[in-house]
Structure 1
Amino acid sequence: MLHEFGQNFIHNLFTPLLLFFYFGFLIPILRVPFEFPRVVYQALTMYLLLAIGWQGGEELAQISPADLGHIVGFVVVGFVLNFVIGIIAYLLLKPVTAIRLIDKATIAGYYGSDSAGTFATCVGVLTSLGIAFDAYMPIMLAVMEIPGCLVALYLVARLRVRGLDTAGNMPGEPEYAPLETVKVGPGTAARSELVHHTAGTTLREALLNPGVCLLIGAVIVGFVSGLQGQKVIHDYNTFFVTAFQGVLSVFLLEMGMAASRKLKDLKSAGYGFVVFALVVPNLFAVLGILVARAYSVVTHTNFQPGTYVLFAVLCAAASYIAVPAVQRMAIPEASPTLPLAASLGLTFTYNVTIGISLYIEIARAIGPYSP
């Protein structure tokens, strides 16, 4: 069994998709003077979100209405689980690194979300290996992206109550500057209204960010098109399905370059921070597989083998698109580099190179049947 595990694991590490990522990771190290055009990166991201949503919607059209209750229940479980994961990440960060509490809170938000890039890579690996997964997993991707934004807002709101200063420092941290006592007066209502307005705007940004909108919109289009039959969707599948692996390869080339360049931002965080970013994906992935297995047993839902792997990836991944956008607006005091160094430089790199292959083998061992 261990021999088979090792063979499968090594084989999965050298799929063409991951070889493109390794190639991209080496470009900055070798100091090759190449910059990936940002507009191309945005176009690749948009395509991947639309393609994932289209394929999910197309398959969703084939699902029996009788299964919708179990699907909705699993989506709710995924949302709650990622919120809990964000809180756990915050508690684990507190003893392992000396960075500021506000930065620990925002980093926890990153880990309470998910990663479309990691999800797309996992879809590509599963497809290349012929491992099936349930059609509604793109919906899980959209829903499980939101808890991280809420985790960061919740944790930072608690820090503000405890005396967070305007620069993002807490009492006892270096360079802390105590806030002046605010007297109750005519301006208090206006300040309260401003706080509520900011919170409302931030929640809207979290729920209606461009990535989620593109993904959900593509699911709806794919679903409606899938209801009309194979004749309608055939030509579109040439673009959204056949070209998916090639576009994903180019995307991973760019992500490898970005991840490699982010590693330099880890110097100030310490070794504990690095260990955290490399170890917790495994803990959260196993937690995700166990929760999915428990849900399957309790509700008598028969998940496809790849569903366990994708759910593990959604739990193990950290955001580098949605949460950073929300953080810039709602938590400007936090460091913009440390969370990305962890989520993109370490966790994304680990997940797409080692993690996905490992989660496949863990799902084989824990799941009710082998892919």
Structure 2
Amino acid sequence: MDQLSATLLSAPVLFFVLGALAAAARSDLAVPETIAKGMSLYLMAAIGLKGGVEVANAGIGPELVTALGAGLLLSASIPFLVAPALARFGGLDRTNTGAVAAHYGSVSVVTFVTASQVYGDNGFVVAGFMVAVLAMMETPAILSGLFIARKQGGSALSRELMREVLFNGSVVLLLGSFAIGMLIGEKGFEPISPLFKAGFTGVLCLFLLDMGLIAMRRILKTRALTWRLATLAVAFPIMNGTIAVTIGTLIGLDAPSAAALGILGASASYIAVPAAMRLSLPQADAGLYLAMSLGVTFPFNIVLGIPLFRWMSETLGALL
């Protein structure tokens, strides 16, 4: 209960709730798109740099390699776990099943960043190398989703698509800033730390305000989101996050990092995967997969998933 209260009363989550309430009230509150994009770039660069610096201090060990392997396995396999429910219970055709499944196998950078910040503020510090796991988990799910949809999706693995998958902006910035952090270390990070440390929480609050506005407006706008699909959009993060926390605990991650792996498993992409789906499966319903990933799963994870997966990781850690 204390963990839930700490999450709900944290500034980033409250700003997200403010945005959702403003959108529900039909307020004209809005964050300009260029500013929102700038904040997104800042957050990814900051989290990558800080993760790289932490790895430079601790060194590259077997824990990092094991976590990367677990992340890649989760990203590639989750689409196949959720696809049957999307097709049978959700009533989706193969194309939309593959498109939606890809979103749930991939990850949400903002969910991870928010969880890391909320956890860290409460002394539950996630290992820096989890940023590399985050970056590695974006791509495999896209390929799995296309495999599921390919019978109706035509030639899915085009050259243009592979370029989008392998070199999309979030992956390049996360891995690039992570590498820079490793190269410069603590000493090199010191001169730029006022920018990337002091302003981080404030920028995250404003970014989540924008996310709250977008998520609620997406829910209010779409007509494709049935009660069955909305139910799956809540069930998937619980199922996938539980699997990820369990794997993280079994491979020896500490409780904060296992919880972070749970957050990654539970989250759904709403940036990288939609861009790939527009290229490879243009016939899939964009309103549907964005309503599920951004309109339902993202708010669930921000408000309830963060404390839930911390509780799971601590409970499993104590039992094992």
Q: Of the candidates 161, 181, 184, which is equivalent to residue 222 of structure 1?
A: 181
Matching residue of 2:113: 120
Change in Cα spacing, 1:45 to 1:369, as seen in structure 2 (3 Å) is: farther
Is 1:354 the counterpart of 2:310 in the alignment? no
Give structure 1 stretches of 5+ with no counterpart: 1-5, 162-194, 297-302
Letter in 1 for 2:27: V
Matching residue of 1:190: none
Task: Output aligned runs, 1:132-281, within 5 Å.
Answer: 132-160=125-153, 195=155, 199-226=158-185, 229-230=186-187, 232-281=188-237
User: Contact 2:97/2:149 (CA < 8 Å) preserved in 1?
Assistant: no
Secondary structure at 2:286's aligned position in 1? coil
Task: Output aligned runs, 1:2-17, within 5 Å.
Answer: 6-17=1-12
Is 1:332 the counterpart of 2:288 in the alignment? no
Change in Cα spacing, 1:71 to 1:357, as seen in structure 2 (3 Å) is: same
1:207-239, Cα deviation, whole Å (9 max, x unpaired): 11011001111011111110xx43x32121111
Matching residue of 1:177: none
Secondary structure at 1:367's aligned position in 2? helix
Q: CA RMSD in A?
A: 1.8
1:318 Cα deviation after fit: 0.3
Secondary structure at 2:126's aligned position in 1? coil
1:264 Cα deviation after fit: 2.6
Q: Of the candidates 35, 43, 46, which is equivalent to residue 40 of structure 1?
A: 35
Is 1:27 the counterpart of 2:22 in the alignment? yes
1:269 Cα deviation after fit: 3.5
Number of aligned residue pairs: give it.
320
1:34 Cα deviation after fit: 2.3
Q: Distance in 2 between matches of 1:266 and 1:104?
A: 18
User: Contact 2:225/2:292 (CA < 8 Å) preserved in 1?
Assistant: no
Q: Distance in 1 between matches of 2:63 and 2:189?
A: 27
Q: Distance in 2 between matches of 1:218 and 1:8?
A: 31
Q: Of the candidates 285, 288, 294, which is equivalent to residue 344 of structure 1?
A: 294
Secondary structure at 2:285's aligned position in 1? coil
Change in Cα spacing, 1:101 to 1:236, as seen in structure 2 (3 Å) is: same
* TM norm structure 1: 0.82
1:306-364, Cα deviation, whole Å (9 max, x unpaired): 10111001000000000001111111111111000000000001000111111111111
User: Contact 1:317/1:351 (CA < 8 Å) preserved in 2?
Assistant: yes
Task: Output aligned runs, 1:67-78, within 5 Å.
Answer: 67=61, 69-78=62-71
* Structure with a larger share of its residues in helix: 2
Runs of at least 4 residues off by over 6 Å: none
Task: Output aligned runs, 1:279-294, within 5 Å.
Answer: 279-294=235-250
Give the number of the structure whose alpha-carbon radius of gyration is greater: 1
User: Contact 1:305/1:369 (CA < 8 Å) preserved in 2?
Assistant: no
Matching residue of 2:83: 90
User: Contact 1:113/1:144 (CA < 8 Å) preserved in 2?
Assistant: yes
User: Contact 1:132/1:304 (CA < 8 Å) preserved in 2?
Assistant: no
Secondary structure at 1:333's aligned position in 2? coil
Change in Cα spacing, 1:35 to 1:132, as seen in structure 2 (3 Å) is: closer
* Percent of residue pairs identical: 28
Give structure 2 stretches of 5+ with no counterpart: none
1:155-213, Cα deviation, whole Å (9 max, x unpaired): 1213357xxxxxxxxxxxxxxxxxxxxxxxxxxxxxxxxx48x5232122111101100
User: Contact 1:265/1:338 (CA < 8 Å) preserved in 2?
Assistant: no
Change in Cα spacing, 1:369 to 1:45, as seen in structure 2 (3 Å) is: farther
